[in-house]
Amino acid sequence: MQMKATVPITAAGLKTACSQCNLLELCLPFGMNDTELNRLDELVGGRRKIKRQQPLYRAGEPFEAIYAIRAGSFKTDVLLEDGREQVTGFQMTGEIIGLDGISTELHSCNAIALEDSEVCVIPYAKLEELSREIEGLQHQFHKVMSREIVRDHGVMMLLGSMRAEERLAAFLLNMSQRFTARGFSPAEFHLRMTREEIGSYLGLKLETVSRAFSRFQDEGLVAVQQKHIRILDNDGLKKLIQHQPGMR
């Protein structure tokens, strides 16, 4: 299942608004008229192709633009002085990446391509300028940032209060949902990241991730073959992240 360079929008209600980045979150046409929608093309400063394992940007680099992922996927991570790595997120086709840089004008994390990928470059100055003129764009941009915050709170919940299997179940459901929103089958997908990267994201070691996958497989919740995942019992996974045995 190779991801195509240009993914057609299939999810209900989505409309292509930006001819350059056909899935761009920012372009979802909320409250924009046709003239405004056409102006959105101005946003895109160009495109960049990033090879697998290569950085889109690195922590400490000056911040100039955010990026809309046209094709492929990325991870963002933060490094501690002693070498420990924390993956702070996975971004897939159609999503926005690079919001961390705005506060300090410097990127605060590394963004690494998980596969050969392509992004639309959105110069931040341009975005601020246009969103002063187009109310719908401004609102949409704020929503994207806010959604990022809410998503991070979800991860904090996961890291702070859940056990290993719950974390993995939540992760799989989240991935499934995001694939679905992009028009892929909800039940079957390829993970583009390694067990170690999943582990880092979930605050677990790779062995623990591997074992949890095996247990899910044994229990008939998912069929796992390396990076190929097929969800067999969605409700079973959901149940796992709610009431689990020993909670009083």
Partner DNA sequence: TTTTGTGGTTGACTTGGATCAACGTCAACA
Partner DNA sequence: TGTTGACGTTGATCCAAGTCAACCACAAAA
Residue 82 binds which of a second copy, DNA, none (CB < 5-8 A, kind-dependent) = a second copy
Residue 213 binds which of a second copy, DNA, none (CB < 5-8 A, kind-dependent) = DNA
Q: Which residue's CB is nearer to DNA, number 64 or number 196?
A: 196
Rounded least distance, CB 128 to a second copy, Å? 6
Q: Decide if 201 contacts 171 (C-beta within 8 A).
A: yes
What's the distance, CA 12 to chain centroid?
A: 20
Rounded least distance, CB 35 to a second copy, Å? 17
- Does residue 158 belong to the site contacting DNA (CB under 7 A)? no
Is the CA virtual torsion 135, 139, 144, 145 positive or negative?
Answer: positive
Q: Which residue's CB is nearer to DNA, number 39 or number 163?
A: 163
How would you label 99-111 residue by residue, b for 16+ Cβ within 10 Å and e otherwise? bbbbeeeebbbbb
Q: Which residue's CB is nearer to DNA, number 180 or number 194?
A: 194
Residue 138 binds which of a second copy, DNA, none (CB < 5-8 A, kind-dependent) = a second copy
Is the CA virtual torsion 182, 144, 45, 109 positive or negative?
Answer: negative
Q: Decide if 35 contacts 52 (C-beta within 8 A).
A: no
Q: Which residue's CB is nearer to DNA, number 35 or number 225?
A: 225
CA distance 61 to 68: 18
How many residues are there in the chain?
248
Residue 81 binds which of a second copy, DNA, none (CB < 5-8 A, kind-dependent) = a second copy
Q: Decide if 31 contacts 139 (C-beta within 8 A).
A: yes
Name the site residues for a second copy (rule: CB under 8 A): 76, 78, 80-88, 99-104, 108-109, 128, 131-133, 135, 138-139, 142-150, 152-157, 159-161, 200-203, 242-244, 247
Q: Which residue's CB is nearer to a second copy, number 96 or number 229?
A: 96
Residue 38 binds which of a second copy, DNA, none (CB < 5-8 A, kind-dependent) = none
Rounded least distance, CB 214 to a second copy, Å? 22
Q: Decide if 29 contacts 136 (C-beta within 8 A).
A: yes
Please identify, among the stretches 11-19, 39-47, 177-185, 197-205, the one whose residues bind DNA according to the rule CB under 7 A.
197-205
Q: Decide if 229 contacts 222 (C-beta within 8 A).
A: yes
CA distance 91 to 119: 12
Q: Which residues contact DNA (rule: CB under 7 A)?
A: 163-165, 194-196, 203-211, 213-214, 224, 226-227, 246, 248
